[in-house]
Amino acid sequence: NTPPLPSTPPPSSSGNLSPVVESPRTTHQSSIDCASPNDLLQKLHQAPTEDCHVIMWQPLDTTPANVTVLGSVVPPATASSLLEISKLPFYMKYAWFLHQVHDLVVPYDELHIKVKVMRDAIVQEAVENLLSYPPRALCAIVRYEFTGESAQDAGAVQREWYMLVSEGLLVEANGLFVVLNREDNSYFINPNSSHAWRLLYLLDHDNAQDLALTFSVSETHGHNTVVEVELVENGHLRAVTDANKAEYVRLMVRYLVFGRVEAQLSALLQGVYDVVPPELLMPFDHKELILCGLAEVDVADWKANTVTSSNLDNSSPLQVVCLYFSIVVEAMSPVDRSRLLQFATGSSRVPVQGFKGLTSYDGEICRFTLKGVPYEGGAYPATHACYNRIDLPLYPTKDMMKEALTMLLLSDPTGPTMTKTFDAQDTLPKLPIPELADSLKHYARSVSVLQTPEEHAATQKKIDSFLAHDGAALQEKLIEYAKDKNSFIEDFWYEAYFNYKASVVLNVNPFFVLEDDPTPSRANQVSRATSLIVSSLKFIHALRTETMKPDVWRTTPLCMNQFRMLFATARCPTETNDAVQVAPNSKHIVIVCRNQFYWFDVMWEDGTAAITEREIMDNLRRIVDDANSRPPATVSSSAVGVLTTEHRVSWAKLRKIDRALFLVCLDHTSPPTASDFASTALHGTYEIVQGHQTGTCMNRWYDKLQIIVCDNGVAGVNFEHSVVDGHTVLRFASDVFTDTVIRYSSVL
């Protein structure tokens, strides 16, 4: 009972024009003319064109409404149905459209395509692949894999591929499009010409003849060829006057937006309709056909259309994590919200219908989902753009969530994914060798603060002499030496440390003071040490299974190699120079209490914990009881930790302990101030009891990473510095403390 489709639509306002098919186009006419053709355009030139059509400029009021852009005539019954569909609300039209195009998809079992692509050649490869596909393959399911990356495509990689290809096609250097307005990123088909006609000025002012315009346009083709295009027959002979300037402006608009890009627009439309039949788009108006979605992210709409896992719903005590997420997102800048949306859904824009219109990779409605996952030290949110989901660690505080989301946004949502701790190692650049003059300039500035003016003048004279004579040759040797090395300085670094013969105490080993444990019940030695051991074992497990998030600076991955040397590593002395010993399969830790050494296994071969927190605490209590039962004189006479403070050659002959994951030093002191503990962490305390030296200086092993815990629960880390820098140990200390906070919150 639908009314018949009228033969023509209602008259449109002046200027609303529609392209329609005129006749088949020749191969020459369908090619894309480019001022500087490159490989991409040449590929497009070679595209088959036997089915291409030309288009023409025609007013809507003279175009039959039941004729598609390609010139096919829609049957009356179908046209009538399309007219009724065009009157529906957008969301209903969109649902109808999805249902229709679903029937176009080739079943996966019949045909599917797997494509490996390289990021640095993604546009070129896309053009080559798409031009090689038979027509049916354009509606087949395609799965993409970026070369050298481990992500599996369940839809998110495909979205990323489409986005990167779309962005690449819009790059002006490729010659397909030009930017009209950089502020709103609007583009136009590249016409290979440049015009700056002030048409509005012409309409608003008199004396048009003074501008010496004619009904023609001069175009530059290639680099040197100028072609005059006639807007009307013999247009170059017809002057523009006040009487005919309106006609001139109308013809110029037609030429600028249509005539000069006719071939390109024809090819573009043909490409669209090769995939989507034109009649499926007829019910939509021009605003509804905008493909880019909404740029503004409405936080209230986002929140209203978010699905949460059961551990985050309103009945869960962890529901506060959702509140943290909302607060953090609301406080973000519009740009950061769009980046977060890009991570979560694969697109930085919201569907026209809002968040309720989010779909999965297969076009089905798929709401944004927050899934609560257990928090482990250093964990960041994980995104699943295929299903519009964020796996959100159960952060105990809003600030911790904000920091994690901020770090996530500093990385690249479209760059290579680093899913493992050491994923980026092979892609890191080599350490650059600075220019010799720059090195000497920095050296002079550094030593100047330690010298008198006379001394510095003498130093500068030697620097100048070195630069003029031996410097250049030595610089060349350094460059040659570094050709096969990632870091030219690494061997020199180790040589400087390992040839050092004096005590490492004070001279080499640094320390960190840890924040107090937030759990009141852990303000004692055994409880605090147990907590630190548990958190440290989690860190080691993440490191060994390569699930620890790699460090980045903004979007740049940082070297993680030092973390391989943080645990189960010892500095071993010899009679010539020191060396590093690593025990990659180490499973035990060493406890030092009142200068006595104890050990027990804490891990299985696969890196999982082999002992519970309660068992660790019981072991520590027994160790403390045993150590306290020994007379001070007996203890000091049998202490071996002091050997690590000896001259390195002497100690080389007496070395005993190397292979532990790390040491825990249980000190029998309670430093009242931070300054007092700093002294304890750096070099320990000492005193003479019954003629024997005692104190925490004996309760150490300076050739390894050691966690120091005092009677009052105050703790710190002292570490051997030759193979790890402060930032590596600081990451360890930070993650360990974060884990203690998480476990405290779980108790609450």
Confidence band of 333 (pLDDT split at 50, 70, 90): confident
Whether residues 391 and 304 share a domain: the answer is: yes
pLDDT of residue 68: 78
The string of DSSP codes covering 719-748 is ---SS--HHHHHHHHHHHHHHHHHHHHHH-
Query: Which is catalytic among the residues 45, 236, 456, 721?
Result: 721
**pLDDT tens digits for range 677-704:** 999 889 888 877 776 677 888 888 999 9
- Does any domain span residue 593? yes
Whether residues 112 and 65 share a domain: the answer is: yes
- Does any domain span residue 110? yes
**529, containing H or E segment:** helix 525-544
- Does any domain span residue 172? yes
The whole-number average pLDDT for the span 233-262 is: 86
Whether residues 148 and 202 share a domain: the answer is: no
Confidence band of 197 (pLDDT split at 50, 70, 90): very low
- The last residue of one of the domains, among 178, 203, 229, is 178
The whole-number average pLDDT for the span 420-431 is: 82
Whether residues 154 and 254 share a domain: the answer is: no
CB 416 within 8 A of CB 148: yes
Whether residues 171 and 201 share a domain: the answer is: no
- Does any domain span residue 426? no
Whether residues 625 and 674 share a domain: the answer is: yes
Give the SS3 label for residue 593: strand
**What residue spans of 376-470 are helical by DSSP H?**
398-410, 436-448, 453-468
- Does any domain span residue 279? no
Confidence band of 589 (pLDDT split at 50, 70, 90): very high
More confident of the two residues 532 and 740:
532
**Distance of alpha carbon 313 from alpha carbon 672, whole angstroms:** 45
- The last residue of one of the domains, among 263, 286, 314, is 263
**Distance of alpha carbon 275 from alpha carbon 85, whole angstroms:** 21
In 488-555, the DSSP E strands lie at 511-513, 552-553
**pLDDT tens digits for range 56-106:** 666 667 777 777 777 778 888 888 888 888 888 887 887 788 888 888 888
CB 345 within 8 A of CB 155: no
**663, containing H or E segment:** strand 663-666
Share above pLDDT 70 across residues of the chain, in percent, rounded to a whole number = 79
Residues ≥6 apart with Cβ < 8 Å to 353: 90, 91, 94
- Does any domain span residue 289? no
Confidence band of 660 (pLDDT split at 50, 70, 90): very high
pLDDT of residue 477: 93
Whether residues 445 and 380 share a domain: the answer is: no
Whether residues 533 and 661 share a domain: the answer is: yes
CB 393 within 8 A of CB 375: yes
Most confident of 222-226, 442-446, 575-579, 639-643: 442-446
pLDDT of residue 84: 87
Whether residues 687 and 663 share a domain: the answer is: yes
The string of DSSP codes covering 41-105 is HHHHHTS--TT-EEEEEEEGGGS-TTB-TTSPBPPHHHHHHHHHHHTS-HHHHHHHHHHHHHTTS
**Distance of alpha carbon 748 from alpha carbon 741, whole angstroms:** 11
**pLDDT tens digits for range 33-52:** 222 334 544 454 444 444 44
- Does any domain span residue 34? no
What range does the domain containing 472 cover?
436-487
Pairing of strands 579-582, 569-572: antiparallel
Whether residues 470 and 524 share a domain: the answer is: no
Query: Which is catalytic among the residues 386, 593, 665, 710?
Result: 386
Q: How many domains does the chain have?
A: 5
Whether residues 114 and 187 share a domain: the answer is: no
Confidence band of 114 (pLDDT split at 50, 70, 90): confident
Whether residues 615 and 546 share a domain: the answer is: yes
pLDDT of residue 636: 61
CB 669 within 8 A of CB 727: no
Residue 721: active-site member: yes
b vs e for 486-518, b when ≥16 Cβ sit within 10 Å of the residue's Cβ? Answer: eebeeeeebeebbeeeebbbeebbebbbbeebb
pTM, two decimal places: 0.50
Confidence band of 474 (pLDDT split at 50, 70, 90): very high
- The number of CA neighbours under 13 Å toward the Cβ of 602 is 29
- The last residue of one of the domains, among 410, 427, 462, is 410
Residue 386: active-site member: yes
CB 307 within 8 A of CB 368: yes
- Does any domain span residue 212? yes
Confidence band of 545 (pLDDT split at 50, 70, 90): confident
Average pLDDT over the chain, rounded to an integer: 79
